[in-house]
A and B are shown apart, each in its own frame.
Chain A
Amino acid sequence: MAEEQPVSHAAHQEQVDFREVQSSPEFQELRKRQRSFIFPMAVVFLVWYFAYVLLADYAHDFMSTPVIGNINVGLILGLLQFVSTFGITMAYVSYANRRMDPIAADLRRDLEAHGVSRPEETK
């Protein structure tokens, strides 16, 4: 296991203007990339989940239609919920690693060079 991180007090905290960082093009790009992925994806999986719940709740005949042997539509749609959950998870990780982490790491390096530390240590 890793060593406990040292607690460092940031004396230069007040020199960093977070509003300036917030309005910088790099940060705005990071924010845009995050939101343009997570919001549409959240809508997609919530709609898909509730469509499934409503079908299971109100469309019994449709869900009970046999497909292969004793396996019916409902079971297949249910298993597809698992597939889509695993799929969205992998898609997000790949997107975040490629499109978000590099910008975040750059910004973090710049800010930490200015002595920004954990919020609670600067109170």
Chain B
Amino acid sequence: MNSLQISAATEVTAESIKDTGLLNMIIFGLFVAVTLVVVLRASRNNKTAADYYAAGRSFTGPQNGTAIAGDYLSAASFLGIVGAIAVNGYDGFLYSIGFLVAWLVALLLVAEMLRNTGKFTMADVLSFRLKQRPVRIAAAITTLAVCFFYLLAQMAGAGGLVSLLMGIDGKVGQSLVITVVGALMIIYVLIGGMKGTTWVQIIKAVLLIAGAAVMTVWVLALHGFNLSELLGAAVETTGNPAILDPGLQYGKSETSKLDFVSLGLALVLGTAALPHVLMRFYTVPTAKEARRSVVWAIWLIGIFYLFTLVLGYGAAALIGSDAIKGAPGGVNSAAPLLAFALGGPVLLGLISAVAFATILAVVAGLTITAAASFAHDIYANVIRKDQVDADGEVKVARTTVVVIGIISILGGIGAQGQNVAFLVALAFAVAASANLPTIIYSLYWRKFTTQGAVWSMYGGLGSAIVLIAFSPVVSGLETSMIAGADFSWFPLNNPGIVSIPLAFFLGWLGTVLDKNTESAVKQAEMEVRSLTGVGAEKAVDH
């Protein structure tokens, strides 16, 4: 970053951060060592497919809820939202609200019924009473697509983050870091399966939330535990009273306002359709534990986002938005800079290691989801037509882990410097468009048919990707991925406002135009199972 607005003070801060690179690496190394031991211990009982994909359904609600929070609070959530609030003020806060309210969709409409109906993957539920092959293939493709975009975002973020935190500059250094992250993740998932991955998520979530809590109390203490005083200090440092009001980022034009509605729609409807979140519901023994998981996740995530509000305005007050924008890593550097301003190199080292661990853990969660979807849905059910035993399926899943790991390393290297937030928002938009309508219809609409499911999933996926491809994100602006060309005709950055209603509409249209009807017996079975949890739980319920 060569912004002309860098003040002398910031340069000192950015330089001092690089001097702490060694300390950061030591702390991060400790995290890797501890989690590897935990993964090794956890993996000793990995025998069956249920062990590998669903951790033997042995986690409790609170444990799984913490792991869900670990999965959900990615680096984009932590660094991204703190930075967005520090720079764009209130508009950054709006993100966190969408991310939180979305959990009510998961709690009320999806989590328990999904837990009761499926086995390992989202496709298990969607294909339950519809035709196996077409629905499974479509669900596996949308799962892989969402995981891929999310993975790219995390891997690209890892490179940029590390350049800031560990003082590793240049494309080669960052590529090396991405390779190390990818290799570590492959090891975790290969050895630990879902059980190891879950423990990594739990450790990381506890560290992240505890770290954010310490910084929050610290920032508040510096401002007399008075939120109004903190906001006042933020206005004073940045010299911009507008950071307390909405509109700084999205209020620029009518198009940007509409874009925000579109983003809000994708955020609130995307969460309950993220495959790696859905898969977590299978790691608990009962629907009641699935419910408790979501409740724990909602509390942890909600409290964490309240912390980010304080941290974002704290960064604005103690460092200033121009200084943050000018630092290496730009907006994403707000939280690390704040940690340095508060607690010097040690707190910076801790927060950096936690942020890095965050990326590692989220990548591991995504990889096992993608691998399970490929091995269970495409290989076992579609290619081998269920003529494969669980051992063979898990073997394929492990191979898939390595393949996905290598693809995401290469993709992460290729996506360096891309806008991470865009990739995450794309993953949410694709999930909300391709998955959510079919999930809702198949759980709640008796007449829903295979044709409706297939139209909705491919229509949602296709329209979301096409609209992104022809949006200003990809071409037409200086900040676009392909800055030199302009083939954008869709004005919004986020496709949700078009693709989500379209996918709901196609699901309905495909169903009413379908000449075939689905088995009423299967529908009855699915409905009874989804509400009662019969057979899906351990025989003795207390």
How many angstroms from the CA of A111 to the CA of B532 in the assembled complex? 9
How far is the CB of A36 from the nearest CB of chain B, in Å?
12
B521 touches A64 (CB 8 A): no
Query: Closest B-chain residue to A24, C-beta based?
Result: B528
Query: Closest B-chain residue to A58, C-beta based?
Result: B257
- Summarize B's interface: helix, strand, loop or mixed: helix
Interface membership of A70, Cβ < 8 A: yes
The one of B105, B299, B536 in contact with A86, judged by C-beta atoms closer than 8 angstroms, is B299
Which chain B residues in 30-66 approach chain A with CB under 8 Å?
A: 45, 47-48, 50-51, 56-59
How many angstroms from the CA of A41 to the CA of B119 in the assembled complex? 28
B97 touches A81 (CB 8 A): yes
Q: Which residues of A contact B128 (CB under 8 A)?
A: 119
B245 touches A52 (CB 8 A): no
How far is the CB of A25 from the nearest CB of chain B, in Å?
14
Size category of the binding interface on chain B? 35 or more
Contacts A108-B532, A111-B534, A119-B119 given; does A93 touch B291 at CB 8 Å: yes
A69 touches B100 (CB 8 A): no
How many angstroms from the CA of A115 to the CA of B527 in the assembled complex? 18
How many angstroms from the CA of A48 to the CA of B532 in the assembled complex? 31
Q: Which residues of B contact A88 (CB under 8 A)?
A: 104, 108
Which chain B residues in 203-228 approach chain A with CB under 8 Å?
A: 226-228
How many angstroms from the CA of A74 to the CA of B251 in the assembled complex? 14
Contacts A69-B228, A92-B107, A93-B295 given; does A104 touch B246 at CB 8 Å: no
Q: Which residues of A contact B531 (CB under 8 A)?
A: 27, 30-31, 34, 104, 107
How many angstroms from the CA of A104 to the CA of B457 in the assembled complex? 31
From B260-268, B419-427, B480-488, give the one contacting chain A.
Answer: B260-268
Q: Which residues of B contact A27 (CB under 8 A)?
A: 528, 531-532
Contact with A along B232-253 (1 / 0, CB 8 A): 1001000000001111001100
How far is the CB of B284 from the nearest CB of chain A, in Å?
10
B119 touches A53 (CB 8 A): no
For chain A, the count of residues having a C-beta within 8 Å of the partner chain is 62
How many angstroms from the CA of A123 to the CA of B232 in the assembled complex? 64
The one of A30, A53, A82, A108 in contact with B94, judged by C-beta atoms closer than 8 angstroms, is A53
How many angstroms from the CA of A121 to the CA of B50 in the assembled complex? 12
Contacts A56-B94, A70-B244, A81-B101 given; does A108 touch B268 at CB 8 Å: no
Additional pairs, 10, CB under 8 Å, beyond known A4-B58, A10-B535, A104-B531 = A1-B59, A4-B48, A70-B232, A78-B94, A82-B305, A85-B101, A89-B298, A92-B107, A107-B528, A117-B535
Interface residues of B (CB under 8 A from A): 45, 47-48, 50-51, 56-59, 90-91, 93-94, 97-98, 100-101, 103-105, 107-109, 117, 119, 124, 128, 226-229, 231-232, 235, 244-247, 250-251, 257, 260-261, 264, 268, 285, 288, 291, 294-295, 298-299, 302, 305-306, 386, 444, 520-521, 524-525, 527-529, 531-539, 541
What are 27 A-B residue pairs whose CB atoms fall within 8 Å in the complex? A1-B59, A4-B48, A5-B538, A19-B520, A21-B528, A31-B531, A49-B264, A53-B260, A56-B90, A56-B94, A57-B261, A60-B246, A63-B90, A63-B245, A64-B245, A68-B228, A75-B93, A78-B97, A85-B298, A85-B302, A86-B299, A89-B299, A108-B533, A112-B535, A116-B534, A119-B128, A121-B535
